Amino acid sequence: MDKLDLGVLFGGASTEHEVSRRSCFSILEKLDNEKYNIRLLGITKKGEWYLYTGDYQNISTDAWEKDVQNKKRAFISPSTEKKGIIILNEDQSYSHLNLDVIFPVFHGRNGEDGTMQGLFELAQIPYVGCDVLSSCCCMDKIFTNIILTQAGIKKAKFAFLDSFDFDNDEKTCLDYIEKEISSYPMFVKPSNSGSSVGVSKVKNIDELKAAIILAKRYDSRILIEENIVGQEVECAVLGNHKTIASIIGEIAPANDFYDYEAKYVSDSGLYIPAHISDETSEKIRKIAQKAYTVMGCKGLARVDFFVEKGSNEVLLNEINTMPGFTSISMYPKLMEQIGIGYSDLLDKLIALAVERFKENER
């Protein structure tokens, strides 16, 4: 089989820029060079695009950005006439590098939220993961909640507001939230964010106000949820039309909740399988697959849940269309447990991308 020209994209203008670099580093360690000509495109936090030809080890930190010898200004053109990467040379000329398929290793805004996916659609290049619609709907927690509730999938009680309304009439907004959610603690989140950035747990009205002010720094749409006491569990789903759901993993946050520090700095516990009954696991797998289909996900997604203490009720928390992908991340670990090793998983994701593209061409 001919080698595929694979564009691996990382970084991005996102609060999850660093996490993306770490995911990308792990992916590069495991991609089979016999199968792919790997072309690396890095995007800085400011949103500048570069073709990177240096040592991939430099991607795990920001060292790649300082490696000026090995980076060139470049981007993916939305025009279909030259598919792939356009490199801007020093002498004002440009060159072109073909891409057969793209692996966008982005988390959060400007990468996991449908924006990049829109560019790849225009360029007509196959890409790993969810399409424009499912990426943006899953990225937006308010949309996810509304759509899944409509589909009969259980969620924590929620309310939402626009920061414009809050700035205009704080009291009416706070009254509405207290009426809808009815008790503290509550969770306040920017609708479109990730890695727990801008997420707060609040115990009273003053904290609620402060949390809304924090959340609106990240998104003008703000979600407020009742606090669910219980276990946090996750299910990895893979596939386009026919999906596979993994066994269930559990996270035990080192902090009061799974905030940024608990995710990336402290030693939060990760258990595979989760400490739940077989019956609850089966139920979660079914709901995960249903939610994946309802949201129109393709390729992969990690579906996160709470299992409520006492009632054992299963409540969906959120869907991540590009879950953490480091070698110790939950998604690849769950897949490994059902017999799909990391390298094999990468090949499958790339094959699913090509398959979906061919279907849409018909």
- The residues binding ligand ADP (CB under 6 A) are 156, 187, 189, 193-196, 199, 225, 227-228, 232, 253, 257-258, 304, 317-318
7 vs 12 by CB, closer to ligand ADP? 12
Residue-wise DSSP of 307-338: EETTT--EEEEEEESS---STTSHHHHHHHHT
- Six-digit token string for 146: 């509304």
CA atoms within a 13 Å half-sphere pointing along the CA-CB vector of 81: 0
Count CB neighbours of 277 within 10 A. 11
Q: How far is the CB of 38 from ligand ADP (least distance, A)?
A: 29
Decide: 36 and 1 in contact? Cβ < 8 Å.
no
Distance (Å, rounded) from C-alpha 68 to C-alpha 65?
A: 7
Secondary-structure percent of the chain, ordered helix, strand, coil, rounded to 5: 35, 30, 35
How many angstroms separate the Cα of 288 from the Cα of each of 106, 134, 144, 178, 234?
22, 15, 13, 30, 9
131 vs 304 by CB, closer to ligand ADP? 304
257 vs 357 by CB, closer to ligand ADP? 257
Q: Cα 20 vs. chain centroid, distance in angstroms?
A: 10
Distance (Å, rounded) from C-alpha 122 to C-alpha 22?
A: 28
Q: How far is the CB of 155 from ligand ADP (least distance, A)?
A: 9
Q: How far is the CB of 318 from ligand ADP (least distance, A)?
A: 5
Q: How far is the CB of 178 from ligand ADP (least distance, A)?
A: 16
Distance (Å, rounded) from C-alpha 147 to C-alpha 153?
A: 9
Class of residue 135 by CB neighbours under 10 A (exposed 0-12, middle 13-18, buried 19+): buried
Q: How far is the CB of 307 from ligand ADP (least distance, A)?
A: 12
50 vs 325 by CB, closer to ligand ADP? 325
Query: What does R_g of the chain's alpha carbons equal in angstroms?
Result: 21
255 vs 343 by CB, closer to ligand ADP? 255
131 vs 226 by CB, closer to ligand ADP? 226
Q: How far is the CB of 225 from ligand ADP (least distance, A)?
A: 4
212 vs 346 by CB, closer to ligand ADP? 212
- Six-digit token string for 107: 């988390």
- Tell me if residue 52 falls in helix, strand or coil: strand
- Tell me if residue 275 falls in helix, strand or coil: coil
Q: How far is the CB of 356 from ligand ADP (least distance, A)?
A: 25
Dihedral angle sign, alpha carbons of residues 185, 190, 194, 197:
negative
Q: How far is the CB of 113 from ligand ADP (least distance, A)?
A: 12
Q: How far is the CB of 145 from ligand ADP (least distance, A)?
A: 10
253 vs 296 by CB, closer to ligand ADP? 253
117 vs 193 by CB, closer to ligand ADP? 193
Position closest to ligand ADP via CB: 258
